[in-house]
Each structure stands twice: as structure tokens, then as C-alpha cells.
Amino acid sequence: MIAMGKVETPNENYEFEDFMWQLLQAKELSLRLEKEKGRWRGGITYVIILHMTAAELWTRNVEIILKDREKIRYQPQPGVRERQIDALFTFANKMQWPFIAEVQATIDAWLKQSKPMGLQNYTWDWLTGLAFPGSFFPLTIMVGLLQASPWFVRMGGLKGMLKVPHGNFGIAMPQVSYWRNRSILGRDLAALPGIHDIAGWIGPCPSPIGIEPYEEPASTAGIQAQAAAFNFQERNQQQSAKHSAFSPTSTTF
């Protein structure tokens, strides 16, 4: 939610009070629509639906701590952070994340801090239960997992802009790779034994050979790679080679 707000409203004068005012208006609209069930109201755009979703997530997962008339603090509802971290760690285990020990140590440190510092907006969204559903959900959980891995932080973190709705991107490491289930490589590799489709990600997949990282990820960039020794059927081999050579595929970073 916070990450989406930065993209949707890049105005430097956009303050937290403006964000809360949008949530208040969106919640009022949700209540009015709920009260008038059965009546169709036009003009509900995609952006308005996002605002209504944000208001619902905020109401459900965030509580207000009022110390005095001038000091108001917002924090996750009791149990929300623990629930989100448990889900993140379960995702890492199911996907056989190669840096699981580092993730465990980082997560333990997050739990000991009332407000972990240096986190990206996507990670904050995940920890506070404010991750948008749909095409933004896979990116939010993966960025949270990447930031829980110190090697990723040392590399400088996620750079560039991804075309999230298209889903044509992935992560390739020396040990393993992960691809969005909307991508061509993800759909091809999903047929391999032992591969999972969880939260919009296909993995753990073999690491491709011959891919050079892009300075700025672009989901429309094509890649040509020498595939590892897969036990594909002949038809799948031909289709995979054709897609890798001529079609827009996933991006590595």
C-alpha cells in the first residue's frame, strides 16, 4: 500500500495526512456501498477500488495509539507482524530459499525491534499486513524475502522499475531461480517435478546459464540462455527454446 502510494502519487507535497484523508474517503464510500446493496453505482474506477482496498486493509490490520492530543502512533494490530513473518518464513521453506539461515536470523531481529529500520516500502507493507492482493502481492512477498537476506542488501537492493501487472520477470541466482507464474519461463518450468506455485511464484527452478543481469530490469527485454540439462519431453524442449529466443521473457536482477 505504501509502495503503491509512492508510485501513484509522486507529488513531493503529498503528506501522511493526505494519505489518511484518502483512506477516510475510501472507507466512507465502502460503507455507503455496503449500506445500499443491490444498487449499481457507476464511476468506480480502478484507482478508487485500490483506495477502498487500502482502507479495508488499514482498518483490519492497523491500530491507533493515542498518547495525548498531539501524539498519535500507528502500529500493526496484535499478532499481525507475527502472522506475516510466519507466512514469509513458510514461503521461504516451501521454495527452498538458499539463504534460509540468514532469513531466520534477520526475521528474529525484526521481531525484537518495535520498528525495524532501513526497510523498503514493500517490506513494510508485508510486515504490517498492508500488501495489496492481485498482481502486486507476489512482488511484495518476494521483496520482503529478499530484504531478509543480507546478501541482497549488500548488493544494493532492488533497482529499476518492474511492469508488475505483466508479471514477466524472475530472480536468477547461482544456486536456483524463481519466476513469476505469468512469465513464459515460469509456465514452462512449472511442469518439472518438485516445483511449487506459491503466491504467484514458480520455484525452486534450476538456475539458467548464460544470463547477464540488467542494470535496470525491464520486463520487455528478451534473453537467450543455454538451458540446463532438463528432462523435458521433445515438444516442451522445442517450445521452451522458441520462447527463450524470440519472445519477451523474464527479467533478472
Instruction: Identify which of 122, 142, 97 has the alpha carbon closest to the alpha carbon of residue 253.
Output: 142
Rounded to the nearest 5°, which phi and psi values hold at 197?
-120, 100
C-alpha distances (whole Å) from 92 to each of 71, 87, 154 are 38, 9, 19
| pLDDT at residue number 239 | 47
The Cα–Cα gap between 48 and 33 comes to 13
| pLDDT at residue number 225 | 38
The Cα–Cα gap between 189 and 197 comes to 10
Q: What residue segments make up the domains of the chain, in order of their start?
A: 2-76, 80-154, 164-246
Q: Are 250 and 170 in contact (CB under 8 A)?
A: yes
Using N-to-C axis directions, what is the helix angle for 80-94 and 100-112, rounded to 10°?
180
| pLDDT at residue number 165 | 62
Q: Whole-structure pTM over 0.85, yes or no?
A: no
| pLDDT at residue number 195 | 93
| pLDDT at residue number 179 | 92
Burial (CB count <10 Å: 0-12, 13-18, 19+), residue 190: middle
Rounded to the nearest 5°, which phi and psi values hold at 230?
-90, 150
| pLDDT at residue number 164 | 63
In the predicted model, residues of the chain with pLDDT beneath 70 are: 1-12, 38, 41, 69-70, 117, 153, 155-166, 210-253
Helix/strand/coil for 237 = helix
| pLDDT at residue number 226 | 40
Give the amino acid at 85.
Answer: I
List residues bridging with 63 in a β-sheet. 75
* Per-residue pLDDT tens digits for 24-46: 999 998 888 888 876 776 778 88
